[in-house]
Amino acid sequence: MFGLLNIKSKDIQGNVLASFNYCELKNAIVENLLADELFTHIGYVTSKEGLLANIYLLRIGKTEFLVSDGYKLYKDKLSSEDKDEFLRIVKESKGIEALKESLKKLVFKED
């Protein structure tokens, strides 16, 4: 296992699929333990004042995305409605394959 990365804010800006308020994503992952298989906590962004965001790596098939969960909201690629749907999917999916497929459809806009 590797240690968590201390990521620079400038390096993550513009590279985030979705950015959530503090603990929104973490709580959704905890609520649905299956989601833990898709999300890997890889590091955090800090400033002199303290924690800005936890950074998760989301793997969907062979594609990987960065997702932010913290005090600092980064410009992300999903709309507000899509982010609400993203959290709902993470919380409510009943199986890992259903979770993967639902997130894949949302992220890649598949029908």
63-107 pLDDT tens trace: 999 999 988 888 889 999 999 999 999 999 888 999 999 999 999
% of the chain exceeding 70 in pLDDT: 95
Which CB contacts under 8 angstroms, 24+ apart, belong to 76-80? 76/16, 76/17, 76/18, 76/19, 77/16, 77/17, 77/18, 78/17, 78/18, 78/106, 78/107
User: Among residues 37, 33, 36, 43, which one has the least CA distance to residue 5?
Assistant: 43
**What is the pTM for the complete model shown?**
0.86
Q: What integer pLDDT is reported at residue 65 of this predicted model?
A: 94
Tally of domains in the chain: 1
Q: What integer pLDDT is reported at residue 110 of this predicted model?
A: 64
* Full residue range of the structural domain in which residue 60 is found: 5-108
Burial of 41 (0-12, 13-18, 19+ CB in 10 A): middle
